[in-house]
Amino acid sequence: DAKTTQPTSMDCAEGRAANLPCNHSTISGNEYVYWYRQIHSQGPQYIIHGLKNNETNEMASLIITEDRKSSTLILPHATLRDTAVYYCIVRALNTGTASKLTFGTGTRLQVTL
């Protein structure tokens, strides 16, 4: 799987949008962009994933650039409960669902009052 680059940490005020960037300049055509987050002392939680189109679900939006070399995860109205480490991962799915995720060190998002 290709590597990703994320800022080590970010702050966001509660109620504001949190925009978490990720660079994946070596992404291959069959690799998806996945986002997970990990709240302290819990297992990672799936947020969203996409291939090339922007995606939105009840948790977040994923914006992928046209060249697919970077993406942004958007939490539209951050709350204190969104404080977590956010992982951006690229993952090939040409072999079906059973392919591993390779985690980096992620971005530590701190949401403040």
Q: List interacting residues with another protein (CB under 8 A).
A: 34, 42-46, 49, 85, 87, 93, 96-98, 100-106
The residue among 21 and 44 lying less far from another protein, judged by its C-beta, is: 44
Q: What angle do CA 98, 103, 106 make, to 5 degrees?
A: 145
The residue among 53 and 97 lying less far from another protein, judged by its C-beta, is: 97
Q: Are 18 and 12 in contact (CB under 8 A)?
A: yes
Distance separating alpha carbons of residues 102 and 2, to the nearest angstrom: 9
CB of 104 to another protein, least distance (A): 6
CB of 98 to another protein, least distance (A): 4
